Amino acid sequence: MAPQQRQTRRRRLAFVAATVAATAVLASGSGFAAGTGAARAADPPAPTPAVTPVPVPPAVPPQPTTPAVPEPEKPRADVPAFGAYLDYGARGVARISELSQWLGGAELRVGHTYLPGDRWSNIEGAPGFLDVWADWRTEKDDRMLVLNVPMMERNEENVSDTQVRMLLRRAAAGEFDHHFRALGERLVELKVPDTVIVLGWEMNGITYTHRCGPDPESWKTYWNRIVTTMRAVPGQKFKFDFTPTRGRDAIPWTQCYPGDDTVDIIGMDSYDQPTGLSFDEQIKEPYGLQEHVDFAKAHKKPISYPEWGLFRNGDNPEYMRRMLAWMDEHKPLYNTLTDYCPHGVWQCGKNPKASEVYRSVLFGRTDPAPVPTEPTGPTTPTDPPKPTAPPACSPLDLGDWVEYWLGGKLCLRFDWFSRNR
């Protein structure tokens, strides 16, 4: 290093030392507070990041070292997988990180979307539709892609029972198998062979053309054909989720169950309905939440909740609290809130009370923390955050130029002042 460079270096270090000393004098005053931003009253307190004190480097900068190569992340079976349905396309993928930020960095490991059921070419997974979801899934090993797959085209066109019965009999004879072979090949090609397939969801109702009620035996035969066809695709690791809607609906969902050999997960879509039905009644009703758990246990299958959320009873914080507690107790393989009006809490501003419950329970969640089953006090969007203990040390913002010469941020320890008064 040339003499002129050494002199410049000494001047810079002297400036840094003076800056640090001046900052320490200011920090020791009684009016010092960490940070300058003011959190909104509706926000839970943000977690304080751990900051390691950085010593002033020696006069000679350390030699650069080769950064260590991080080990690949491994799936964590002990952490519950949850997420939300945010949109079926690219916007849904982009909003996953935004919802995570709203939840204080909580890790959303489930991406959930639906194949259009208007025509067979879309049920096969049209080129370009699933690519962005596959890219999101493959970024981390412990993520899960949940894909609702219709069993029939014209799936929401109010097809009559007579037509559905005829279609199911054709399907049971194998007429539509090739569409599902194409879908399986498409998912393997996109490197998402472990996709969870929610096949023919809410089959016990009257909404969809792929409903079970007009001919349960043909429906079950058709389900088995689809699963067998997709499992025959080389490289596949699909999991098939049998998901009725909660309650009896048009037909008891147990009459549609196709058998343990072709079902990997027993799910349930469970919204807060009908009007006036309490959560306890949702548990105890025929084919309700308790029967779902008991049925899955008897068949040695994990459970899931691909769709859940508010509905007929409006902004119901009690439902939200109890449903989250129910899932923490019974540990589904995954759950995904339906997050649009009237069901949701992030993209729907009509449910502020339930939104506050959802956010407060899941804020920053990265582990299976228990959820209280009873309310512990009033919670409203205007409640102020609870006070927290000050951090052990606070990073000093000295500017990019100073931090460059220091080699990082400087951390001011509060306990040093208390010990040296």
Which uninterrupted H or E stretch holds 148?
A: strand 144-149
Structural domains of the chain, ranges and CATH numbers in brackets:
81-362 (3.20.20.80), 389-421 (no CATH)
Q: Which of 326, 254, 324 is nearest to 296 (CA)?
A: 254
pLDDT value at 314 more than 70:
yes
203-231: average pLDDT:
98
pTM of the full structure? 0.71
140-150: average pLDDT:
97
* 104-118, 189-203, 277-291, 398-412, range with the lowest pLDDT: 398-412
**Which amino acid belongs to residue 275?**
T
pLDDT value at 392 more than 60:
no
pLDDT value at 169 more than 60:
yes
* 32-46, 322-336, 398-412, range with the lowest pLDDT: 32-46
Question: Residue 280: which residues within 8 A CB-CB, separation 6 or more?
Answer: none
| Other CB atoms within 10 Å distance of the CB of residue 420 | 7
Q: 8-44: per-residue pLDDT in tens?
A: 444 444 443 443 333 333 333 333 233 323 332 333 3
171-178: average pLDDT:
98
Q: 70-124: per-residue pLDDT in tens?
A: 344 444 445 579 999 999 999 999 999 999 999 999 999 999 999 999 999 999 9
Q: Which of 328, 327, 318 is nearest to 379 (CA)?
A: 318
Confidence of residue 1 (pLDDT cuts 50, 70, 90): low
Q: 345-370: per-residue pLDDT in tens?
A: 999 999 999 999 999 999 998 755 44
d(CA 324, CA 330): 10
Which tokens is 161 given?
């029972």
